[in-house]
Amino acid sequence: MIELKSIPFFVNFSDKDIKMLKDNSTLVNYNANDIVYYERDKPKYLFLLIEGGVNVYKTNSKGRQLHIHTVNPVDFLGELAVFYKIPYHNTTECITKCKILKIDYYKLNKNFCKDLFFCKELVNSLNSRITALMQVVDSSFLTTKERVARFILKNLNEFKDSTYTDISKRLNMTPETFSRILNDFKRKKLIDMDSEHNITIIDKNTLLEISE
């Protein structure tokens, strides 16, 4: 088993808490595309993402996915569901191979992790959830062009590494729409692209105007 104490997240934990945690959790290896939990499931475990990356999204009745959040280590997964005993709000899927600590939270001593440090970590985690949700909410009432302009301005570097299909998922639009907008921007000489997905910004001001 991995040495919890060696993970920065746990440095402030007492030996007693670490032991209790070890006794009531397992470190699980996931592969890419594995589902950690599904929305609407009743929570059983508190997850702690130790290694890898996961996507958090919601699915609607037509199977369409709404991307909400990409979570990186070390962070909680499913914490609200567990603490408030309400169904998971969303589905969490591994992007890469992951190591996730699966904690049987309800078996832990009630006093475990009720200290101020833990609580603060929780607040931080919730803050990042809210920020992510706010961005989703923002994007839900921006046009697709505005969203793409924003993405270009903020995340230019990510174009090299990702496929258009992946980016369009994160922007919650179809690949067709994404493609049309990029070519539209190119035609209007706001950006330039080569065949390698390298984007260069030509007319930053107009992009800023579009993105607001």
Q: How far is CA 182 from CA 158, 176, 178, 187, in A?
A: 15, 10, 6, 9
**Least distance CB 96 / its own copies (angstroms):** 25
User: What residues does 37 pair with on adjacent strands?
Assistant: 92
In the chain, the amino acid numbered 8 is P
Does residue 183 touch DNA according to CB under 7 A?
yes
Q: What does DSSP assign to residue 154?
A: H
Task: Tell me if 23 contacts its own copies by CB under 8 A.
Answer: no
Site string for DNA, 142-161 (x = CB under 7 A): -xxx----------------
Burial class (CB in 10 A: 0-12, 13-18, 19+), 168: buried
Q: Is 41 in the site for its own copies (CB under 8 A)?
A: no
Closer residue to its own copies, CB minimum distance, 111 or 198: 111
State the Cα–Cα distance between residues 123 and 116, nearest whole angstrom. Answer: 10
Among 7, 18, 27, 66, binds its own copies (CB under 8 A): 66
Alpha-carbon distance 69 to 181, whole Å? 23
Residue type for 128, please? S
Is 14 near DNA (CB under 7 A)?
Answer: no
Q: How far out from the chain centre does Cα 19 lie? A: 29
| Smallest distance from its own copies to CB 39, Å | 10
Instruction: Please tell me whether residue 44 binds DNA under the rule CB under 7 A.
Output: no
Nearest 5°: the CA angle 125, 126, 129 is 95
Examine residue 36 and tell whether it contacts DNA (CB under 7 A): no
Q: Return the range that interacts with DNA (CB under 7 A); candidates 16-24, 75-83, 92-100, 170-178.
A: 170-178
Binding-site ranges for its own copies (CB under 8 A): 58, 60-61, 64, 66, 68, 80, 83-84, 89-90, 114-116, 119-120, 122-123, 126-127, 129-130, 133-134, 136-138, 140-142, 146, 212
